Structure 1
């Protein structure tokens, strides 16, 4: 392990991966160990246009005796190399090698018997597909905490099914073609301290307007979401948490700080039963897209609900969050749900 950009007690390990059509590929595993070994660890997976900077989340787990890890996936954050297209993949399974490597490091090298995976947004979708795929291979997590997972495209049915399917038919020929849909600046403005938010992070790795959405990436996401809709078989307990409402406007309004300004939360609730047989759904009033970045009191409620779920399925819980805590990071610095077409 080497020093991480967050400084002590965070450290990182670069995971060398097989090259792809753009050249060399790496992922980055960030680690913060608990004061005393407990044999329990959590692995955090970020979302699209994202990377790990939420040190207050790590604080929460570490206080409860969990070793904390986060994985900056290939072409994201710490792992983004100059020759790469930011955040691009052709299939969700592209991320399996770094997830497998991280799980082995956490379990075999660092001696943790219990592994909880905490996935946010696209990370929640990736974690779910990976957990399903690794169920019989000894690498599957012992639990999933899904924070506003990306289970469907936030658009009317016509756009997210037939229109999106037509766009994706060109993926094999032109996977890097940019889709003419942009991410709203509203969510970034609601989060970053330089605008209307509370949090500091690297805007080069997590720009307010996001990175371009490309046809190959959209195809990978739709394929994974379709697999989820057909049903996964995750035997581990799952906590899925999301806001009670979504923010629909492309223009700023203070209501954006009290809702999910990225995804449709009803999609998350609708498809949650397709994950497995042990799914707990929690709705957070006033929760934002990344629930852990929500304003108070919603942020405290997220951690309270997480603790209650951990008490039900694990031996002990993390301590409560430090109210009002802020984070600053510098980059050197068929399960009862009708099927939808």
Structure 2
């Protein structure tokens, strides 16, 4: 692939975006989108953010935090998500998480080889946390990733044991026949309402790209995620420092309640903490009291704690010269 050509991004405020053209897959032509915002001063350190399911990059205050620490900020909208969604593609769908390695590899090439960064911190949220953990595992020893920050990573289903085992195995066995058939259990509307400023939250985002009611999970996607979960359960060999953050508690997110502002309404936070040590040999686990599923979208006092923990971890493991910064928002 050639060098990227950036244009102003929909977020404005110094954000730029470039389209990464990918190989055709089963759904035809595919693209991903790399969003960039430079730090105020030239730097050779960068962070690459990867969103979760039913999501895209819109968290400008996350970029504020990293650029304030002297990192150039990048975010990737994966194929069939957000800026990268095209009319002929099934929203948010993929049947093999490993296919995302193509856009992750290309984004890392742009950040490191083309734009000259020596340090790359990868930040994955929810399903993006699972995807980036698997990718970092498969790129171990190549010097691509220098650190991994996982914000409420999707390391296991938030479901009873029988669903996580017998039910998912049944979907996996039938995946070739019903790959694009929705399966029961889509996320309800409570979590989305807890975030959006037109309902019970404080954030503005495009509800065509991040649906308030949630989106269906298709059998092929569930099977792909299941294979990723099995790999985590067996143990990964990520060879760089990993920071895993999760809420201190979980809550049912299908229907709005005030409790959704103070706990993970999507995943089982205890399962995240239990499985995190299997990611690699150097894993730091931090539980955030009062944290929402996307920890950086929690209320201001909570996200200040999130950014404080992240700042300390970066200072310890990635950037001894990192400047102090106060996250905006």
Per the normalisation by structure 1, the TM-score is 0.93
1:315 deviates by 1.6
1:170 deviates by 1.1
Q: Name the CA distance, whole Å, in 1 between partners of 2:57 and 2:209.
A: 10
1:322 deviates by 4.2
Q: Name the CA distance, whole Å, in 2 between partners of 1:320 and 1:294.
A: 18
Q: Is the 8 A contact 1:177 1:214 kept in 2?
A: yes
Alignment partner, residue 225 of structure 1? 229
One of 103, 106, 112 as aligned partner of 1:107: 112
Aligned pairs (5 A) from 1:46-65: 46-65=51-70
Alignment partner, residue 18 of structure 2? 13
Q: Deviations over 1:4-55 (max 9, x none)?
A: 1111411111000011122110000001111222210000000000000000
1:318 deviates by 5.2
1:161 aligns with 2:161: no
Q: Name the CA distance, whole Å, in 2 between partners of 1:322 and 1:85.
A: 35
Q: Is the 8 A contact 2:195 2:202 kept in 1?
A: yes
Aligned pairs (5 A) from 1:116-127: 116-127=121-132
Q: Name the CA distance, whole Å, in 1 between partners of 2:270 and 2:228.
A: 18
Alignment partner, residue 79 of structure 1? 84
Q: Name the CA distance, whole Å, in 2 between partners of 1:72 and 1:196.
A: 26
Aligned pairs (5 A) from 1:252-263: 252-263=256-267
Partner SS, residue 18 of structure 1: strand
Q: Name the CA distance, whole Å, in 2 between partners of 1:77 and 1:99.
A: 16
Alignment partner, residue 309 of structure 1? 313
One of 282, 291, 296 as aligned partner of 1:292: 296
The alignment's C-alpha RMSD in Å is: 1.1
Q: Deviations over 1:211-270 (max 9, x none)?
A: 211000000001011001101111100110010000126332211100000000011101
Q: Deviations over 1:186-224 (max 9, x none)?
A: 110110111100000000000012221100000000101
Alignment partner, residue 286 of structure 2? 282
Partner SS, residue 246 of structure 2: strand
1:119 deviates by 0.4
Partner SS, residue 178 of structure 2: coil
1:136 aligns with 2:141: yes
Alignment partner, residue 172 of structure 1? 176
Q: Is the 8 A contact 1:64 1:316 kept in 2?
A: no
Partner SS, residue 36 of structure 2: strand
Task: Structure 1 unaligned segments of length 5 or more: list them.
Answer: 326-341
Partner SS, residue 34 of structure 2: strand
1:64 deviates by 1.1
Q: Is the 8 A contact 1:243 1:285 kept in 2?
A: yes
One of 216, 220, 229 as aligned partner of 1:212: 216
Alignment partner, residue 329 of structure 1? none
Alignment partner, residue 3 of structure 2? none
Q: Is the 8 A contact 2:191 2:255 kept in 1?
A: no
Q: Is the 8 A contact 1:245 1:260 kept in 2?
A: yes
Q: Is the 8 A contact 1:304 1:320 kept in 2?
A: no
Per the normalisation by structure 2, the TM-score is 0.96
Q: 1:100 to 1:249 in 2, by over 3 A?
A: closer
Q: Name the CA distance, whole Å, in 1 between partners of 2:49 and 2:248.
A: 23
Q: Name the CA distance, whole Å, in 1 between partners of 2:26 and 2:293.
A: 33
Q: 1:210 to 1:216 in 2, by over 3 A?
A: same
The total of aligned residue pairs comes to 323
1:33 aligns with 2:38: yes
Q: Is the 8 A contact 1:310 1:316 kept in 2?
A: no
